[in-house]
């Protein structure tokens, strides 16, 4: 996927340096933005050679559907992180979305789909208002809504003791379980959302503003961009996407499970960072995030293939991977900075 550059030059030196970038700097930038895709290709290649059960259509479908729910959450997270923020509430909101879908479906399929979107969007709105207009730290605001959304979930499930089932014949349930051209419908929805995400980030004023805000909030405000409104909308989007992902996951399992989503925010952040989006904001790609999600899920799948390895190694590998990726990123961006000063 094409890379996204900062649309507006905030630093007067930057336009000069970008024209006179050395080959090493360009390489560094390329690794930063495309590294995850290259590593993903390598891991897939090695896994395909090593394990007979890996390169099968069944397994690919499996990985695709398992990736889709996390990918939808990570898409919203990508935009939030590009703007220099963070959304820790998505795991709870995801769980809430699933429970709300299973709760709402008794009043009709459409209610089952809309209820999670509206409520989770409202939680995102609360995050957004507090961050954008209240000027509170995103980390702590979304930490609070992480707790609050989990509380709300418990409140509507009799303290977590009720798990509502979804009718398998219902079209909303089919949205999770159905397949089209061999791939699960959630996978198609994910692909569609990512396509929209790429366009929004690269081709719209909203996307460009998001990048500018992440680069420098003050500069973006001075340029007259609607910083607060834009920031607020990012959190609304993140909440809605997390709710949608939860609703789809609930439909996939035909039940609103209350204990899902714990730690999902961390997986999503990890995927975004592995995908080359800087946590400091101002730069990132939607495609990289997709590669990051797939990478996490492929690693998980490969560790399951190695029968002798305990499944606990999965998180060890994910954690180590995350550390290595950010270490390399940090090294590259410093090399980049040094280059810029020449």
Partner 1 sequence: MTEVVAAPRANAGTRAWLRDNGVYAAIVVLVAYNLIFTENFATMANLSTQLVQVAPVLIVALGMALVIGTEGVDLSVGSVMAIAAAILPLYLGYGVLPAVLLALVAGGLCGALNGTLVAVVGIQPIVATLALLVGGRGLALVFADGQMTVIQNDSLLGLGTGELLGLPVIVWLAAALAALVWLLVRYTTFGRQLVAIGGNRSASALAGLPVRRVLMTTYVISGVLAAVAGIVATARLTASDPSAIGNLYELSAITAVVVGGTPLSGGRVRILGTVAGAVLMQMITATLIKHNLPDSTAQMVQAAIIVLAVYLQRSRAGGGQ
Give the residues lining the site for partner 1 (CB under 8 A).
Answer: 86, 130, 134-137, 139-141, 143-148, 150-155, 159, 217-218, 266-267, 269-270, 273, 279-280, 310, 312-320, 322-323, 326-327, 330-331, 334
Contact predicate 270/292, CB 8 Å: yes
How many Å apart are CA 77 and CA 269, to the nearest integer?
A: 7
Instruction: Considering the complex, state which of residue 30 and residue 320 has its C-beta at the smaller distance from partner 1.
Output: 320
H or E element in which residue 246 lies? helix 227-253
Closer residue to partner 1, CB minimum distance, 208 or 217: 217
Q: Are 98 and 247 in contact (CB under 8 A)?
A: yes
Measuring CA to CA, which residue among 108, 77, 79 is closest to residue 93? 77
Distance separating alpha carbons of residues 338 and 169, to the nearest angstrom: 60
CB of 166 to partner 1, least distance (A): 22
- Which residues have C-beta within 8 Å of that of residue 117, sequence separation ≥ 6? 97, 240, 243, 244, 247
CB of 204 to partner 1, least distance (A): 26
Distance CA 342, CA 271 (A): 33
Residue with Cβ nearer partner 1 (51 or 313): 313
- Say how many C-beta atoms besides its own lie within 10 A of residue 286's C-beta: 27
Measured CA to CA, the distance from residue 202 to residue 184 in angstroms comes to 28
CB 11 within 8 A of CB 266: no
Q: What are the C-alpha distances in Å from 25 to residues 38, 207, 280?
A: 18, 25, 20
**76 vs 184, beta carbon nearer partner 1:** 76
CB of 273 to partner 1, least distance (A): 6
Q: Nearer to partner 1 by C-beta: 102 or 264?
A: 264
Minimum CB–partner distance for residue 31 and partner 1 (Å): 16
Q: In angstroms, what is the minimal distance from the CB of 341 to partner 1? A: 16
H/E element holding 221? helix 217-222
- For the bound state, the minimum distance from the C-beta of residue 279 to partner 1, rounded and expressed in Å, comes to 5
Shortest distance (Å) from residue 10 CB to partner 1: 15
| Residue placing its CB nearer to partner 1 in the complex, 107 or 331 | 331
Q: Nearer to partner 1 by C-beta: 153 or 234? A: 153
């Amino acid at each position: 996927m094409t890379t996204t550059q900062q649309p507006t030059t905030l630093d007067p030196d930057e336009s000069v340096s970008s024209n006179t970038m050395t080959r090493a700097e360009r390489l560094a930038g390329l690794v930063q933005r495309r590294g995850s895709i290259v590593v993903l290709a390598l891991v897939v290649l090695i896994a395909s050679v090593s394990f007979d059960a890996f390169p099968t259509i069944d397994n690919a479908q499996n990985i695709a559907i398992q990736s889709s729910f996390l990918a939808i959450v990570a898409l919203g997270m990508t935009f939030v992180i590009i703007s220099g923020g963070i959304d820790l509430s998505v795991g709870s909101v995801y769980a809430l979305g699933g429970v709300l879908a299973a709760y709402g479906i008794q009043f009709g399929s459409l209610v089952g789909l809309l209820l999670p979107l509206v409520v989770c969007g409202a939680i995102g709105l609360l995050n957004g208002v507090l961050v954008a207009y209240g000027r509170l730290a995103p980390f702590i605001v979304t930490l609070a809504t992480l707790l609050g959304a989990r509380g709300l979930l418990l409140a509507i499930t009799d303290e977590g003791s009720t798990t509502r089932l979804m009718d398998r014949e219902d079209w909303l349930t089919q949205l999770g379980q159905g397949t089209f051209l061999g791939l699960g419908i959630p996978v198609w929805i994910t692909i569609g959302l990512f396509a929209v995400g790429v366009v929004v980030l690269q081709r719209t004023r909203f996307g460009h503003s998001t990048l500018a805000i992440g680069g420098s909030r003050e500069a973006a405000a001075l340029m007259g961009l609607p910083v607060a409104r834009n920031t607020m909308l990012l959190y609304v989007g993140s909440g809605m996407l997390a709710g949608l992902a939860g609703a789809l996951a609930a439909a996939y399992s035909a039940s609103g499970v209350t204990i899902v989503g714990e730690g999902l925010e961390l997986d999503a952040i990890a995927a975004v960072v592995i995908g080359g989006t800087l946590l400091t904001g101002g730069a990132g790609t939607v495609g990289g995030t997709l590669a990051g999600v797939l990478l996490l899920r492929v690693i998980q799948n490969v560790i399951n293939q190695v029968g002798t390895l305990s499944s606990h190694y999965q998180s060890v590998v994910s954690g180590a991977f995350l550390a290595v990726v950010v270490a390399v990123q940090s090294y590259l961006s410093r090399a980049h900075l040094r280059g810029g000063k020449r």
